[in-house]
């Protein structure tokens, strides 16, 4: 990090500086002085440094934040002393069990359906320039990715529990699926770093449209067009070439200053600037990873950002605070909840909320079965093709689905 380089030029009492001294010492000895000797001189003659201060901060920084740097160690610490200011940061891995495909993973087949659109390259679909010329492929993909009938996962409800218990400082998510909102995480606790399908805006006049409205348009295979002007309406997900939401730049400095636990879940830590959030946590904040792979370590060659940082240390000898739990995110949060005595509470919350969502979508199905039959009959009489009929049915079920989700969201607020 740049801090290390700085410490070479400018004396400071940080431990990085002390370590730097050690490596500098051998070469500088030959020149007859060391940074340490300069520091001692300044300390004695000029009183620039206070030995005791330097020492205490050094030992403080070099000490492990908790003695037992394991998952069990973190859980025991939590039970005994509690964490009070928790930040969470998540990626697609916490939503996959909800059936939401990670469109970045190869083999999900999502891009395959777009072949007929002759994209210059697959990610052009999320590029502003391309979208402005040809929004159709994006909306075809959006129809497949569209959140709607999905249920938040135990991970989402664990975050909700943190919020309900007053422990959640902020939840940073890369996901655009709105499952946090459906799980009842409040807007003020949320930083949707890559935007969200929750709100939509006209690219010309900036008029805002609801998720429900957008869903109707997308499922009708229409290009969503503003009702006030000829502009295309785009979901507020962040495209390449667009800025991240202001919250992403404003909140980290205060959120990470005194947080005592950072929980990282379901992310590859490969996408910047999101991944660099792990570096924002103060040096005494424990960083707990719950993920299928041990990511973000300096041995992780995929994480190019590590050129500028130490990353997560895990088994490294220098590790003072990083712990990894490897496995499925849902299993991980259940294991954590169990270990800190929240197991039953989490299971109950998941069961209760899922039952509520089931009930609503079931109610909608019961009504819509009849409606669908009626509609099919009417359309049949009008001489519509089978394809047109099924599309009309899609519109109907999509719009009632969006309504029930909207209700779910309103109720959980």
Q: How far is residue 48's CA from residue 71's CA, in Å, rounded to a whole number? A: 42
Query: Could you tell me the two tokens for 387?
Result: 């394809």
Mark whether 194 is an active-site residue.
Answer: yes
Per the CB < 8 A criterion, the answer to whether 215 and 194 are in contact is no
Instruction: State in angstroms the smallest separation of the CB of 238 from Zn ion.
Output: 20
Instruction: State in angstroms the smallest separation of the CB of 135 from Zn ion.
Output: 14
Nearer to Zn ion, 101 or 231 (CB): 231
39 annotated as ligand-binding: no
Residues whose CB falls within 8 Å of the CB of residue 52, separated by 6 or more in sequence, listed in order? none
60 annotated as ligand-binding: no
Nearer to Zn ion, 232 or 339 (CB): 232
Instruction: State in angstroms the smallest separation of the CB of 225 from Zn ion.
Output: 8
Strand order in the sheet with 233-237: 208-210, 195-202, 233-237
Per the CB < 8 A criterion, the answer to whether 412 and 183 are in contact is yes
Cα 37 to the chain's mean position, in Å? 47
Instruction: State in angstroms the smallest separation of the CB of 203 from Zn ion.
Output: 8
Query: Could you tell me the two tokens for 341?
Result: 């005595």
Instruction: State in angstroms the smallest separation of the CB of 200 from Zn ion.
Output: 11
Instruction: State in angstroms the smallest separation of the CB of 204 from Zn ion.
Output: 5
Q: How far is residue 56's CA from residue 67's CA, in Å, rounded to a whole number? A: 18
Q: How far is residue 99's CA from residue 326's CA, in Å, rounded to a whole number? A: 21
Nearer to Zn ion, 203 or 340 (CB): 203
Per the CB < 8 A criterion, the answer to whether 3 and 14 are in contact is yes
Compute φ and ψ for 243, nearest 5 degrees. -75, 150
155 annotated as ligand-binding: no
How many CA atoms within 13 Å lie on the side-chain side of 14? 13
331 annotated as ligand-binding: no
Q: How far is residue 316's CA from residue 87's CA, in Å, rounded to a whole number? A: 24
Nearer to Zn ion, 202 or 259 (CB): 202
Nearer to Zn ion, 226 or 372 (CB): 226
Name the pairing type of β-strands 168-173 and 86-90: parallel
202 annotated as ligand-binding: yes
Peptide linkage before 273 cis (omega within 30 of 0): yes
194, 201, 354, 364: the catalytic one is 194
Binding site for Zn ion (CB under 5 A): 202, 204-205, 207, 226, 228-229, 231
For 208, other C-beta atoms within 10 Å of its C-beta total 11
Q: How far is residue 54's CA from residue 12's CA, in Å, rounded to a whole number? A: 9
Nearer to Zn ion, 203 or 395 (CB): 203
Query: Could you tell me the two tokens for 332?
Result: 């991980």
103 annotated as ligand-binding: yes
Instruction: State in angstroms the smallest separation of the CB of 234 from Zn ion.
Output: 11
Query: Could you tell me the two tokens for 12?
Result: 């400071």
176 annotated as ligand-binding: yes
Any idea which residue has 């992780």 for tokens?
Answer: 300
Nearer to Zn ion, 14 or 217 (CB): 217
175 annotated as ligand-binding: yes
373-378's contacts with Cβ under 8 Å and 24+ in sequence apart are none
Strand partners, 312: 297
159 annotated as ligand-binding: no
Binding residues for NAD(+): 92-96, 102-104, 174-177, 267-268, 291-293, 329
Q: Which residues are known catalytic residues?
A: 194
Binding residues for Zn(2+): 202, 205, 226, 229
Binding residues: 92-96, 102-104, 174-177, 202, 205, 226, 229, 267-268, 291-293, 329
């Amino acid at each position: 990090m740049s801090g290390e380089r700085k410490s070479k030029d400018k004396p400071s009492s940080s431990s990085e500086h002390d370590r730097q001294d050690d490596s500098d010492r051998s070469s500088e000895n030959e020149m007859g002085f060391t940074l340490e000797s300069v520091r001692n001189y300044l300390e004695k003659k000029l009183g620039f440094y206070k030995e005791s201060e330097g020492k205490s901060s050094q030992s403080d920084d070099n000490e492990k934040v908790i003695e037992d740097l394991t998952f069990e160690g973190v859980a025991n610490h939590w039970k005994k002393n509690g964490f009070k200011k928790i930040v969470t940061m998540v990626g697609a891995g916490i939503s996959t069990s909800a059936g939401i495909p990670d469109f970045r993973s190869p083999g999900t087949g999502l891009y395959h359906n777009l072949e007929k659109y002759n994209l210059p390259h697959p990610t052009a679909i999320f590029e502003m320039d391309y979208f402005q010329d040809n929004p159709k492929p994006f909306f075809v993909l959006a129809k497949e990715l569209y959140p709607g009938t999905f249920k938040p996962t135990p991970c989402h409800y664990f975050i909700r529990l943190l919020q309900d218990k007053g422990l959640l400082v902020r939840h940073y998510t890369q996901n655009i699926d709105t499952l946090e909102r459906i799980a009842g995480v409040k807007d003020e606790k949320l930083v949707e770093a890559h935007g969200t399908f929750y709100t939509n805006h006209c690219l010309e006049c900036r008029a805002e449209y609801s998720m429900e409205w957008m869903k109707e348009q997308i499922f009708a295979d229409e290009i969503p067009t503003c009702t006030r002007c000829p502009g295309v309406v785009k979901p507020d997900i962040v495209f390449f070439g667009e800025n991240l939401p202001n919250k992403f730049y404003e909140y980290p400095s205060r959120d990470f200053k005194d947080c005592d636990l950072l929980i990282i879940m379901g992310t590859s830590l490969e996408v910047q600037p999101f991944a660099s959030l792990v570096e924002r946590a103060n040096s005494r904040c424990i960083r707990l990873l719950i993920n299928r792979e041990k990511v973000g370590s300096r041995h992780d060659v995929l994480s190019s950002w590590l050129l500028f940082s130490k990353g997560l240390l895990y088994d490294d000898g220098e590790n003072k605070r990083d712990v990894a739990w490897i496995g499925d995110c849902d299993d991980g949060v259940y294991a954590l909840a169990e270990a800190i005595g929240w197991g039953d509470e989490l299971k109950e919350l998941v069961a209760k909320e899922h039952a509520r969502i089931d009930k609503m979508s079931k109610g909608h199905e019961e009504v819509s079965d009849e409606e669908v039959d009626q509609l099919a009959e009417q359309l049949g009489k009008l001489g519509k093709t089978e394809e047109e009929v099924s599309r009309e049915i899609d519109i109907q079920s999509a719009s009632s689905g969006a309504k029930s989700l909207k209700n779910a969201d309103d109720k959980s607020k």
